[in-house]
Structure 1
Amino acid sequence: MSSSTDAMASPCSHDQFDEPDRGTVLNYIFQAASDDELSIFKELVTIILDNGRGRPKEAIEELRVEDVGQLEGFSALHIAASKGSLEVCRYLVEELLVDVDLVDKEGRTPLLFATYHNGGTAEYLLDHGANQDKADHDGSTLLHYAAELGNCEMVELLLAKGAYVDPVSACGTPLHVAAGKGHYGAMKILLDHNADYNKMVNGVTPLIVATDAKSMKCIKLLVKAGANLKEAAAYTTLHAEKVVSDYFLNCIMEDVDANRDVPFDQGPMLKREIVTSGLISRGSNSLKNKDYVVAAKLYSKAMVLDPDDAVLFSDRSLCWLQLGDGKTALLDANRCRKMRPHWPKACHRQGEALMLLKDYEGASERFWDGLKLDPVDTDIEDALREAMKSLKTSRSWSMRAN
């Protein structure tokens, strides 16, 4: 494209350009649309492009950017709208009656590109029939694009013109998109227009997306709006290492502990869901990876908020066992047994701790208690056999010593 408006006028001088080639005409027309040079643009379209046939509308609608790239398939209206060329937009829409929803190769309309420009072209196109809900070939609407940019002015405008607040594309709703970019302002506008803060798309909610973005403000905004932690908790069970982090827990629990920004009746649920599906999931992963110190710390954090979960004490007891701390392992095992006296695993944990402390008689008794509760548990049966063997050996050595 030529950057000189003087040079752009030259195709209209028939003394110099009797038969300009199509590429030159295309460049001049698109440059005039970009620069909002209406008089030059009109001459190029009516005199040269249409060549006096009286069909300028059809001629300009057929004219498209042909270069392979992001602009392929752009019409003159796309370019004028994207550059804020309001006078050219008016001429195309009101005088030539060009289709205001022309699409490029990707199915994108001029209005979509007007959302990138905070001039008056977007509002003008909307006022003249542009479809505010039209999606491109990937299913993304104008509101998706405005949310991705964090363009609050455009989000407000689209919603004021009646745009649907929760259209779904491959990347979720506009609220998902804004949350993923950490755009607090755009999120607040969407929520003020009743965006669905619990919408699940591709297995994730806006809260999960905001967590990935590590945006404390966005996380708190969603929780305050009433975002349901159950979906987030279910997701963390499978993706704990990705979603549940100390950062996330601190963001949420800070509000729970301070009793602010969280609905009163959600406080206990938030604590329970986050702990059970967050800290415990991460603790279990650490345990599987034989990182027993980290696992024990995570279970300890969980116990502060949920001190009545016997499974937590059982799993932390196992951590102490692996670290060779029999006394602490027995303390946790005894707490577990007290909470769930009829749980075979609690008996098993007690027996294992006593074995580490070389109390083989006590270990045998605890393993026997567990086997009575679950006669088909081969692990407890094997442990009982080993405990009795160790007890017999220790007594034999004791007798020899005496």
Structure 2
Amino acid sequence: MDGIMSLPDLFEKLLGDDQDSWPAEANLLLAAHDGNLRRIKEIAATLDDDGEGIAATVARTAFHGMNALHAARSLHVYRYLLEVANMDVNKPDTTPGRKTPLERAIAGGDLPSVRYLIDHGADIHHQREGNITFLHSAAKKGRTEIVKLLLSRGAHVDGKSDHGTPLHFAAIKGYESTVKILLEHQADPNKVMPSSQATPLSAALFTTSLPCVKLLIQAGADVNATNNPLARAAGSGLTEAIKLLLKAGANPNCPDTHGRMPIELAAVYGTREDVEILFPLTNPIPTVADWSVDGVITYANLERKKLEDDDYVNTKMSDLKQKGNEAFDEQDYEKASVWYTQALEVDPCDATTLLKRCLCWLRMGEGKKAVKDATTRAKHHPKLSEAYHRLGEALMLEKDYEKACVALTHGIELDPESDEMDKLFWEAMDLKN
């Protein structure tokens, strides 16, 4: 699901399919979006009731919180709007994201337009909600040339946001060239993400990007950081990453947050080569009776079979879900969320439990956690309207009304009879504007 609805799609949702019936202001913005300068001027002429002139009319025309400069995507339109209409290059729109023209150009990957906007006064140090900078936005999209341009104009390479630095954003997407440029400009490879304490190295391992892992280790990334990069690599079967981490000094005797050693995680994943690599470096584990490569693998298989046994899993899940439901019914949502979390460790794909935990987060006002659970459910169950319903509700809690509209639109398409979702959608639309 795309998190941002395109301007034509948004207007069509709001105004219907018949563009001829749309307000002139909406059609002017659509012309700016399409790069049709002649059409912009034609529409402006019809709106110029006071005789202030076409350029001035274009400059003051807005619709649903956006003006022509926010809608534009073409260099020749930008030139007209800034050099003739004298519009404010740094004015944000009034959507929940409060995006400026520069951010929209970066999102589109339009390097000439980005350069033009900066040359004509766009503030590259502007921050939006969550302390996200333009460098974060460019890194997240892997816009390497735009990253270079922003850095050359003085963008802060280690700008902190609620979700990490630009290096985190590039590493978790596996954008090797972007990671390389950021490191060449002295990005700190050991900055931690406030929400999870993850480093860029952990982010690169999450997306299994070996080239990014190599670059980060070469730049001095801490291979024994809090998130235990070696355990993550072992649990994902990343043989070459395990070799790199061990060579750089990673500790094979450091457990993950659940108390499991990297060798156990490698055995559970099923990569014998990884177990063989880790075995000579790992201290004997007391619960493994036969301390050998085969013994570790046998032990891991027995533990895994417990979870593969339907009776074991069903009994365990039933017990944890019952405890969670009892706490939920008593409106003790914090305790319920703990039981549901434990249940999801047994069966991460249990859709009902994921939804119940999402509801706990919503009741507790934990918007970010609710968004994460609802997004996961929507990803794995894309045909269930309820997933998008809860995602829309969570996004509204986070005051991200634009994305809430997108989620609820998907939900309504799946369940057109849902009055509750329809009501939420129009609430989000009103709040967005």
TM-score band, normalised by the shorter chain? 0.5 to 0.7
Q: Could you tell which deviates more after superposition, 48-57 or 219-228?
A: 48-57
Q: Give 2:392's aligned residue.
A: none
> 2:116 matched to 1:140?
no
Contact 1:180 1:212 survives alignment (8 Å) = yes
> 2:4 matched to 1:28?
no
Q: What is the CA RMSD across the aligned residues, in angstroms?
A: 4.0
> Structure 2 counterpart of 1:276, which letter?
C
Could you tell me which of 194, 210, 213 is aligned with 2:186?
194
Q: Give 1:114's aligned residue.
A: 105
Q: Distance in 2 between matches of 1:63 and 1:283?
A: 62
Q: Distance in 2 between matches of 1:299 and 1:87?
A: 59
Q: Distance in 1 between matches of 2:278 and 2:111?
A: 52
Could you tell me which of 207, 227, 239 is aligned with 1:235?
227
> Structure 2 counterpart of 1:54, which letter?
E
Could you tell me which of 201, 208, 211 is aligned with 2:205?
211
TM-aligned CA distance change 1:255 to 1:320, over 3 Å? closer
Q: With structure 1 as the length reference, what TM-score do the two structures score? A: 0.57
Q: Distance in 1 between matches of 2:275 and 2:242?
A: 18
Could you tell me which of 74, 82, 86 is aligned with 2:66?
74
Bigger radius of gyration: 1
Aligned-residue sequence identity (percent) comes to 31
Q: Distance in 2 between matches of 1:146 and 1:79?
A: 19
Q: Distance in 2 between matches of 1:298 and 1:160?
A: 42
| Unmatched 5+ stretches in structure 2 | 1-5, 9-19, 293-433
Could you tell me which of 137, 152, 163 is aligned with 1:171?
163
Q: Give 1:185's aligned residue.
A: 177
Could you tell me which of 25, 45, 48 is aligned with 1:50?
48
TM-aligned CA distance change 1:212 to 1:179, over 3 Å? same
Q: Give 2:87's aligned residue.
A: 98
TM-aligned CA distance change 1:188 to 1:37, over 3 Å? same
> Structure 1 counterpart of 2:254, which letter?
T
Q: Distance in 1 between matches of 2:262 and 2:175?
A: 34
TM-aligned CA distance change 1:298 to 1:277, over 3 Å? farther
Q: How do residues 1-400 of structure 1 correspond to structure 2 at under 5 angstroms?
A: 23-45=22-44, 47-54=45-52, 59-66=57-64, 73-80=65-72, 83-84=73-74, 86-104=75-93, 105=95, 106-115=97-106, 116-118=108-110, 120-202=112-194, 203-231=197-225, 234-236=226-228, 240=231, 244-245=234-235, 247-248=237-238, 250-254=240-244, 267=248, 270-271=249-250, 273-277=251-255, 281-283=259-261, 302-305=278-281, 312-313=283-284, 315-316=285-286, 318-320=287-289
Q: With structure 2 as the length reference, what TM-score do the two structures score? A: 0.53
Residue 320 of structure 1 deviates from its aligned partner by 1.4
Q: Deviations over 1:344-381 (max 9, x none)?
A: xxxxxxxxxxxxxxxxxxxxxxxxxxxxxxxxxxxxxx
What secondary structure is seen at the aligned counterpart in 2 of 1:107?
Answer: coil
Q: Distance in 1 between matches of 2:235 and 2:263?
A: 13
Residue 154 of structure 1 deviates from its aligned partner by 1.4
Residue 114 of structure 1 deviates from its aligned partner by 0.9
> Structure 1 counterpart of 2:178, which letter?
A
Q: Give 2:390's aligned residue.
A: none
| Unmatched 5+ stretches in structure 1 | 4-20, 67-72, 258-266, 307-311, 324-402
Contact 1:276 1:302 survives alignment (8 Å) = no
Q: Which runs of 4+ in 1 moved over 6 A?
A: 55-58, 296-300
TM-aligned CA distance change 1:22 to 1:303, over 3 Å? closer
